[in-house]
């Protein structure tokens, strides 16, 4: 059985704990590899390696760091197919979907290549007589990233590209469910010229995470995962004196007004609800159908579901793959078994592919869902789309704003005034207007509000640069010694 190793000091190294965690093939249900979960001592070794590499990397010129990112970008682009194949094999998403993940990851690398411009400070000449004041941004030191299974290549790139180009060194703890992409990315960074020790990978689970949170040499933590764990990571990390950004769960609403184009809205709902089998924090999981649009919209979505090709990534015709594990597949299917007063319009459990092998569940549609139902309140994270019916725009907005989560939302309408009012009214971090999955481009930043984010800075983009640096203000004077005197008064600026 293949072992997926750690990455330390520029090379892959075997784990020593003996505690093996399985890596499944979601399309067949068979184990394809394992990781040996890192011990606290192995995690400490990765942090020590990053700490030793930090002084020289911090001292490297901005041009040198950007050059590494330029080379890394070219290497990732040249190895797209190999990375996508690894992601597909371990996650289960289609190769095309994995390729889309890589494309968005490349945007983040490209943004990082421009960091020298973003790291410029400010300068004020003659702030006081003979005194100049300027600000600079400096790296934090060793920083760590804890990433989820659903985007094993893209989400790490959200973090480490900005962190490294700012002069930090990085320790990554990827998901143990699909960890191979992290090692290939580490090797590509090495090939790009990143010095050994600047980027290390520890495979594992809670033990490695808890050690990274507690380690005194880790200055900052980035996390993406479920809300309960995000809250726990944020609280433990900040208690340990670290800077933390922890992105949590979501329940993304797509509001469809009566004037919307029904076919376009149905296309968007199907694409955003069932892409990657719903295992996206920005997936649409609730369609809020306002007024008379509900019946034709439900019919249009139902008709399209029948045309979705579900199958393994090895099938070129497949549009939707399996879920990540059997346990997760069974948990998602459980919502269909007990829908309460809602109406299951399309039951994915009835799809032939759902009978196995593998962790498949067909696309499912549930209508007339009550806001008090677990179908509505829980982050299902699977191919289950709920339809909630609302009588008015105000009722739809209230649903969005009353929800625990505030990650992403969208409105479908032909009315520009309604769209503008919606983006003003909704309490949510990312808003789409006739765009169902409003993931920002790399030169903006990603993150939600409410229980979807713990911390004050969003991920990647300009806020990512802010997160991985801190500002220092220098006040400078070069006086004539002959004019020096003792003055116990408050410093003068005039």
Catalytic residues, by residue number, are 281
Task: Give 335's contacts (C-beta < 8 A, 6+ positions apart).
Answer: 366, 374, 375, 378, 380, 384
3-state secondary structure of 20: strand
Collapsed DSSP state (helix, strand, coil) of residue 342 = coil
**What DSSP state is assigned to residue 166?**
T
Residue linked to tokens 């880790």: 218
Give the integer Cα–Cα distance in Å for 37 and 4: 10
Measuring CA to CA, which residue among 382, 324, 18 is closest to residue 177? 324
Adjacent-strand bridge partners of 475: 133
Strands 11-13 and 2-4 come out as: unpaired
What is the chain's alpha carbon radius of gyration, rounded to the nearest angstrom?
A: 25
Q: Residue 244 in contact with residue 218, Cβ under 8 Å?
A: no
Q: Are 222 and 30 in contact (CB under 8 A)?
A: no
Nearest partner of 198 among 164, 222, 175, judged by Cα:
164
Read off φ and ψ for residue 21, nearest 5 degrees: -115, 130
Does the bond joining 357 to the residue before it have cis omega, within 30 degrees of 0?
A: yes
378-381 LR contacts (CB < 8 Å, sep 24+):
378/335, 379/226, 379/227, 379/249, 379/250, 379/251, 379/285, 379/405, 380/278, 380/285, 380/332, 380/335, 381/150, 381/278, 381/279, 381/283, 381/328, 381/332
The residue among 360, 368, 406 whose CA lies nearest residue 385 is 368
Backbone CA torsion sign across 205, 439, 167, 220: negative
Q: Could you list the beta-strand ranges (E) of 248-399.
A: 252-256, 284-290, 343-346, 364-367, 384-390
Is 286 in contact with 388 (CB distance < 8 Å)?
Answer: yes
The total of other beta-carbon atoms located within 10 Å of residue 52's CB is 15
Tokens describing residue 478: 């070069």
Nearest to 258 by CA among 389, 427, 370, 403: 389
**Cα–Cα distance measured from residue 471 to residue 121, given in angstroms and rounded to the nearest whole number:** 9
């Amino acid at each position: 059985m293949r072992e997926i190793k750690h990455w330390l000091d520029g090379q892959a190294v075997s784990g020593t704990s003996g505690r093996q965690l399985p890596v499944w093939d979601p399309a067949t249900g068979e184990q394809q590899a394992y990781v040996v979960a890192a011990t606290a001592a192995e995690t400490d070794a990765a942090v020590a390696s990053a700490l030793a590499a930090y002084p020289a990397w911090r001292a490297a010129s901005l041009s040198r760091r950007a050059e590494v990112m330029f080379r890394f970008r070219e290497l990732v682009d040249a190895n797209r197919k190999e990375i996508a194949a690894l992601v597909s094999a371990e996650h289960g998403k289609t190769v095309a979907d994995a390729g889309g993940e890589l494309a968005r990851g490349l945007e983040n690398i490209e943004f990082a290549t421009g960091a020298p411009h973003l790291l410029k400070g400010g300068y004020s000449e003659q702030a006081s007589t003979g005194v100049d004041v300027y600000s600079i941004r400096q790296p934090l030191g060793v920083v760590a990233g804890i990433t989820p299974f659903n985007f094993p290549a893209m989400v790490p790139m959200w973090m480490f590209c900005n962190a490294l180009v700012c002069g930090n060194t990085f320790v990554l703890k990827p998901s143990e469910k699909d960890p191979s992409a992290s090692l290939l990315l580490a090797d590509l960074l090495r090939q790009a010229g990143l010095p050994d020790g600047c980027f290390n990978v520890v495979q594992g689970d809670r033990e490695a995470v808890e050690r990274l949170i507690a380690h005194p040499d880790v200055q900052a933590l980035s996390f993406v995962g479920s809300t309960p764990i995000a809250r726990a990571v944020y609280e433990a990390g900040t208690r340990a004196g670290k800077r933390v950004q922890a992105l949590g769960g979501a329940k993304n609403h797509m509001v469809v007004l009566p004037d919307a184009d029904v076919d376009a809205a149905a296309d968007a709902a199907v694409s955003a609800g069932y892409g990657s089998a719903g295992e996206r924090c920005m997936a649409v999981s609730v369609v809020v159908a306002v007024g008379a649009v509900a019946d034709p919209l439900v019919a249009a979505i139902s008709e399209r579901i029948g045309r979705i090709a579900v199958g393994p990534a090895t099938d070129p015709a497949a549009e939707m793959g399996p879920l990540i594990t059997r346990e997760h597949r069974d948990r998602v299917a459980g919502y269909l078994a007990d829908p309460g007063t809602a109406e299951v319009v399309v039951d994915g459990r009835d799809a032939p592919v759902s009978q196995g092998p593998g962790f498949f569940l067909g696309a499912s549609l549930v209508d007339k869902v009550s806001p008090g139902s677990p179908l509505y309140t829980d982050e299902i994270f699977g191919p289950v789309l709920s339809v909630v019916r609302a009588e008015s725009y105000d009722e739809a907005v209230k649903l969005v704003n009353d929800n625990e989560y505030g990650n992403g939302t969208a409105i479908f309408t032909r009315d520009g005034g309604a769209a503008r009012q919606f983006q003003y009214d909704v309490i949510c971090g990312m808003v789409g207007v006739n765009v169902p999955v409003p993931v920002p481009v790399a030169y903006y930043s990603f993150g939600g509000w409410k229980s979807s984010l713990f911390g004050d800075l969003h991920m990647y983009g300009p806020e990512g640069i802010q997160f991985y640096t801190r500002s220092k203000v220098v006040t400078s004077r070069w006086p004539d010694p002959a004019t020096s005197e003792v003055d116990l008064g408050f410093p003068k600026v005039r």
